[in-house]
Amino acid sequence: MLKGLMQDRPLLISSLIEHAARCHPQVEIVSRTCEGPLHRCTYAEVHRRAKQLARALTAVGVAPGERIATLAWNGYRHLELYYGVSGMGAVLHTINPRLFPEQIEYIVNHAEDQFLFFDLSFVPLVESLASRLSTVRAFVVMTDRAHMPACDIPGLLCYEDLLAVQASDYDWPQFDETTASSLCYTSGTTGNPKGVLYSHRSSVLHSWAACAVDGLALGANETALLVVPMFHVNAWGMPYAGAMCGARLVLPGPALDGASIYSLLRDEKVTLALGVPTVWLMLLQHVAANGLQPAEELCLRRVVIGGSSAPRAMSEAFATTFGAFVVHAWGMTEMSPVGTVCNLLDRKSVV
């Protein structure tokens, strides 16, 4: 076979954040934190801290291919873990905190997770499970020293302390793009949850699809609110696609109630929001109950709905009340995860 080696380089997740830091360094990541206030940082800062994290993991002996677990909301530290863990060649295992504790125990042990990073919200959960998580070498709470909880988790580490001692000069390792990058367990099966393993290649290719006009059409002009959780099917791949195109990201943390989401949409001038119907139902109820005028107050142009079927009334409410177009998407955990996206062709739209 005659080989053509045009643009020959592996498709690695680290290249996405490296690109964002170089081409979109000042684009914001806005996070609602467990500690309370909104937090603002940039792709350049996420990149720098992801490299510090990769160094920290290397320093404590994490080997390529080992699983590093998270129990966390959508936020900048979770984003740093997305890039730091996968980027160094380890596997990010995002755990769905809505599973039963026994299932969480099962999957941590089944995945043989070496470290567990978790948000402050999950201190009680981790406290109750820690003694039965046999492979976990250390527990890291994703906060700073001032907010460290008083709790019974043995040898608890502080995320910011881990990073603080690391320099940020780190060259992302280059390796085969089919290397595993992340792991989700799906409960959409019989019996115990089943692990679904993503590769660097699948995640980068999926990002291209998310940035395609006829895909999710994510681009540098969007401010995207990721209501879809980063603990489930990689938040529909948006943390990767966002860095690929330099979209501004808004991460709602633990506050998914109507009032919190509405204020983010308004104050952060969100143009694109992504989530499941149950969250949008809370938002629509909040808008109705308070007589709000979202079409006048918001910049929202599109709402991507997936996870389950959006009722027709929901699509209509977004169109009429918000002036936003609903893009219905469908996929599966083992599909990267977005499978189909319903955009309208010009000839089918009725404006």
Q: Answer yes or no whether residue 178 interacts with its own copies by CB under 8 A.
A: yes
Smallest separation (angstroms) from its own copies to the CB of 111: 11
Counting contacts by CB under 8 A, is residue 146 touching its own copies? no
* Shortest distance, position 243 Cβ to its own copies, whole Å: 13
CB 304 within 8 A of CB 327: yes
Of 211, 227, 238, 329, the residue at the interface with its own copies (CB under 8 A) is 211
State yes or no: residue 26 binds its own copies (CB under 8 A): no
Which is closer to its own copies, CB of 33 or CB of 234?
234
Q: Which is closer to its own copies, CB of 26 or CB of 190?
A: 26
Stretch binding its own copies (CB under 8 A), from 4-12, 148-156, 285-293, 305-313: 4-12
CB of 289 to its own copies, least distance (A): 32
What residues numbered 229-288 form the site for its own copies, per CB under 8 A?
245-246
341 near its own copies, judged by CB under 8 A: no
Calpha distance 260→41 (Å, rounded)? 20
Q: Are 49 and 29 in contact (CB under 8 A)?
A: no
By three-state DSSP, how is residue 68 classified? Answer: strand
Which one of 154, 167, 169, 214 is in contact with its own copies (CB under 8 A)? 214
Alpha carbon distance 278, 273 (integer Å): 14
Q: Which position among 8, 169, 171, 296 is part of the footprint of its own copies (CB under 8 A)?
A: 8
**Using CA atoms, how far apart are residues 154 and 141, in angstroms rounded to an integer?**
12
Cβ-contact 80, 49 below 8 angstroms: yes
> Rounded CA gap, 307 and 330, in Å?
7
337 prior amide bond cis, ω within 30: yes
